[in-house]
Amino acid sequence: MSYHVHPLVHWLIATLAIMVAAWLIPGVTVSSVFAAFVAALVLGFINMFIRPVIIILTLPINIFTLGLFTLVINALLVQLASFIVPGFGVAGFGSALLFSIVLWVVNGILRTGIGERRI
Give 14-69 pLDDT, tens digit per residue.
Answer: 899 899 999 999 999 999 999 999 999 999 999 999 999 999 999 999 999 999 99
Q: Does any domain span residue 118? A: no
Q: Does any domain span residue 41? A: yes
Q: Does any domain span residue 2? A: no
Percentage of the chain exceeding pLDDT 70: 92
Q: Model-level pTM?
A: 0.87
pLDDT interval class at 1 (50, 70, 90): very low
Q: Does any domain span residue 33? A: yes
Which residue, among 108, 110, 99, has the nearest Cα to 22 in the 3D structure? 99
Which residues constitute the domain of residue 107?
7-113
- Count of structural domains within the chain: 1
Q: What is the pLDDT of residue 109?
A: 84
Q: Does any domain span residue 93? A: yes
Q: Does any domain span residue 119? A: no
Which residue, among 118, 68, 76, has the nearest Cα to 97 in the 3D structure? 76
